[in-house]
Amino acid sequence: MDTTNERRKLERFTIELPAKVEAVRTDQRDRLLNLFTKNISSGGAYFRTQEPLPVGTEVRVDLLLPLDKLRKFLSDREKVTVNVTGTVLRAETRGMAIGFSEDYKFGSARKSKSKH
């Protein structure tokens, strides 16, 4: 059985999105990684990093979606965040794969007001 095809039933998008990845419930808890996705699907994402977290590490992931690329949102918003939890499924020398849990939350970051 080809497990690669089994794992890739969800549509995968090659897109670089900024993300904050934080380990939860481990000795890695204080480690906050500022990373970029290499690709993403509704089931998970691959993140470029030279220091992947250990396989099995539970994480909290905040993905930042730049609204200039997603024009259908309100003009007073600069970015939308997608907050998900997940688990590191694969760790390699150039990155790690994180599988997303089904719970998630959308939020927004308002444009910062410039001071005159």
Is this prediction's pTM over 0.85?
no
CATH of the domain at 98: 2.40.10.220
Position 7 in a domain: no
CA distances from 10 to 5, 23, 82 (A): 10, 25, 18
Q: What is the mean pLDDT of the chain?
A: 77
Position 80 in a domain: yes
User: Which pLDDT tens digit goes with each residue over 30-83?
Assistant: 678 999 999 988 889 999 999 999 999 999 999 887 766 555 544 555 666 788
Domain range for 58: 12-110
> How many folded domains does the chain comprise?
1
Position 17 in a domain: yes
Of the candidates 71, 65, 69, the one whose C-alpha atom is nearest the C-alpha of residue 40 is 65
